Amino acid sequence: MIVCMRERAHCFRVCSFAEPAFGEVNQLGGVFVNGRPLPNAIRLRIVELAQLGIRPCDISRQLRVSHGCVSKILARYNETGSILPGAIGGSKPRVTTPTVVKHIRTYKQRDPGIFAWEIRDRLLADGVCDKYNVPSVSSISRILRNKIGNLSQQSQYDSYKQHQPPPQPALPYNHIYSYPSPITAAAAKVPTPPGVPGIPGNMAMPRTWPSSHSVTDILGIRSITDQGNKWSPSRQQFCVSIQHGSLSYPSPSATLYDIQCCSFWLCCWTWLAACWQHSTFPPQL
């Protein structure tokens, strides 16, 4: 254990742009965030390379991901057929099982004015629960609020929606790497570095990650210029990609880390695009 803890000193935090925890660097030079899954693009790349017959050790070196991680991802893929990480966090329901929730929903639908303690009594009376696993009144209240609370509000919402203009179609992005929406708001709060143009509203969209964790890949340079080592985008193509949000990065869930990554890349992309568009590429530092 002591040895392990000592060895962890090899890791160090990098990129003070988005402290406190934007990432660390492993022994291979790859960037990772402790406790968080690798981006889906990396996971997908690992599987793709393995299917091309590349050995795990070579994949590890090429993508700068520890071989233990490569082994784990490939093993999971072989077992489940999925590249996605497992469900992180949360805990299994102890008393509020799906069955209990279903009964609570039924009670509420039949009698919208029913009290939580009445529901509790009915769960006992109907034999859905016994005295050992019946949810507390506060638990029932939480279920009503979080899972069933919109029953009585649904009609109001529908009425409201009918008077609203139809939603604008979202910008296209790779659905495989879809991002929940919280980034949109969060990205808008990102401070703009000096000399970097503001982030347009339509940039705060779900997108995919660069294909590697190296510094150049974080900046996205390799993912653009290294596609088969042949394709090289014109300056216009690059800027259009920026403006349309088609340069993207994925994550299984929008967390602070994800938001920080999005914000960081967003700023980098925007900055590079602006420099390029104004013929100052590479950027003048």
Check if the beta carbon of residue 242 is closer than 8 Å to that of residue 269.
yes
Residue located via tokens 């795990």: 56
Say whether residue 37 binds DNA (CB under 7 A).
yes
Stretch that binds DNA, among 59-67, 113-121, 160-168, 266-274 (CB under 7 A): 59-67
Min CB(194)–DNA separation in Å: 28
Stretch that binds DNA, among 1-9, 109-117, 122-130, 156-164 (CB under 7 A): 1-9
Helix, strand, coil % over all residues of the chain, rounded to 5? 50, 0, 45
Say whether residue 52 binds DNA (CB under 7 A).
no
Give Dmax (Cα) for the chain: 76
Nearer to DNA among residue 26 and residue 192 (C-beta)? 26
Q: Which run of H or of E encompasses 275?
A: helix 256-277
Min CB(139)–DNA separation in Å: 7
Say whether residue 85 binds DNA (CB under 7 A).
yes
Min CB(98)–DNA separation in Å: 9
- Whether the bond into 282 is cis, omega within 30 of 0: yes
Nearer to DNA among residue 38 and residue 196 (C-beta)? 38
Say whether residue 71 binds DNA (CB under 7 A).
yes
Applying CB under 7 A, among 45, 49, 56, 140 the residue interacting with DNA is 56
Min CB(191)–DNA separation in Å: 20
Stretch that binds DNA, among 23-31, 118-126, 191-199, 231-239 (CB under 7 A): 23-31
Applying CB under 7 A, among 14, 17, 48, 75 the residue interacting with DNA is 75
Phi-psi region of 64 (alpha: psi -120 to 50; beta: other; left: phi over 0): left
Distances (CA, A) of 58 to 66, 71, 167, 223, 284: 11, 12, 47, 19, 36
Q: Which run of H or of E encompasses 262?
A: helix 256-277
Distances (CA, A) of 256 to 40, 89, 148: 17, 15, 28
Applying CB under 7 A, among 93, 193, 197, 283 the residue interacting with DNA is 93
Site for DNA in 122-151 (CB under 7 A): 139
Say whether residue 112 binds DNA (CB under 7 A).
no
User: Of 107, 127, 130, 101, whose CA–CA distance to 119 is shortest?
Assistant: 107
Nearest 5°: the CA angle 209, 211, 212 is: 110
Say whether residue 90 binds DNA (CB under 7 A).
yes
Say whether residue 72 binds DNA (CB under 7 A).
yes
Residue ranges that bind DNA, judged by CB under 7 A: 1, 3-5, 7-8, 10-11, 21, 26-28, 30, 32-38, 43, 55-57, 65-69, 71-75, 85-96, 139, 253, 255-257
